[in-house]
A = this chain, B = another copy of it.
Amino acid sequence: MHSEVDFITYLEAFIPLSVEAKMALSGALKVRQYAKREHIVPLNGVNDVISFVVKGCVREYYLNEQTEEVVVWFGLEKDIAVSLPSFISQQPSHTAIQAIEPTKVIQISRENLYQLYDQFHEIERLGRIIAEHYLMNSDAYIKELQTQNAAERYQHLMEQKPQILQRVPLSMIASFLGISGETLSRIRSKRANY
Contacts from A to B (Cβ < 8 Å): 62, 64, 70, 72, 84-85, 88, 117, 121, 124-125, 127-128, 131-136, 138-143, 145-147, 178
Contact = CB atoms under 8 A, between A and B. Distances in A.
Tell me which of A64, A140, A141 has the highest count of chain B C-beta atoms within 10 A of its own C-beta. A141
A140 to B, nearest CB: 8
List the 9 closest A-B pairs by CB distance, nearest first: A131-B131, A128-B128, A138-B138, A121-B121, A145-B145, A146-B178, A135-B135, A127-B128, A131-B132
Given A124-B124, A125-B117, A84 B142 contact: no
Contacts of A141: 142
24 contacts: A64-B147, A70-B147, A72-B142, A72-B143, A84-B136, A85-B136, A88-B132, A88-B133, A117-B125, A117-B128, A121-B121, A121-B124, A124-B128, A127-B128, A131-B131, A134-B135, A135-B138, A138-B142, A142-B142, A145-B145, A145-B146, A145-B178, A146-B178, A147-B178
Contacts of A178: 145-147
Contact of A131 (B121, B128, B140): B128
Nearest to A145: B145
